[in-house]
Each structure stands twice: as C-alpha cells, then as structure tokens.
C-alpha cells in the first residue's frame, strides 16, 4: 500500500514539474487568449441585449401609435 502511495505521489510530482516548465511567455499568451475570448463573449452579449432593447422599444412605440390612432378615430366618430 505504501508503494502505491509513493508511486502516486511521485507521478503527481512529475506531472507538476512538467506543467511548471511552461515558459512565462506561453502563460502570458494563454492569459491574453482567454481574456480576448471573454471580451468577445461580453461584446456579443451586449449587442444581443442592445438589439432586444431596441426591438422592445419599437414595439412599445408601435403600440402607442395604434392607441393614439384609435383615440383619434373614437373622437372623430363621437363628433359625428
């Protein structure tokens, strides 16, 4: 059992050393790539929300126009 534990610890240590051998430049590039992906996702989400707000505003304006025209028709009919 101790041998299995030793083998597990040794393999974990070797894996950690292997990951630590990445150069600082590679790590910076990875961080830049991740940041760029996150920014793009934020931009696309913001554009999507902006489109939703614009379409909702247009719908509300159209509704107000319809209500206004109905009121005008009612006044017109009432004055006859």
> pLDDT at position 80, please?
67
Per-residue pLDDT of the chain in tens (80 residues, 90 and over written 9): 677 766 777 777 766 666 555 677 777 788 888 888 888 888 888 888 888 999 999 999 999 999 999 988 888 888 76
Residues 53, 46: Cα–Cα separation, whole Å: 10
């Amino acid at each position: 059992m101790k041998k299995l534990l030793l083998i597990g610890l040794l393999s974990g240590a070797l894996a950690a050393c292997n990951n630590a051998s990445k150069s600082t430049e590679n790590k910076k590039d990875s961080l830049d790539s991740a940041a760029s992906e996150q920014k793009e996702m934020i931009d696309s989400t913001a554009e999507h929300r902006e489109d939703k707000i614009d379409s909702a505003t247009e719908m509300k304006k159209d509704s107000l126009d319809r209500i206004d025209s109905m009121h005008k028709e009612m006044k017109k009919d009432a004055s006859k």
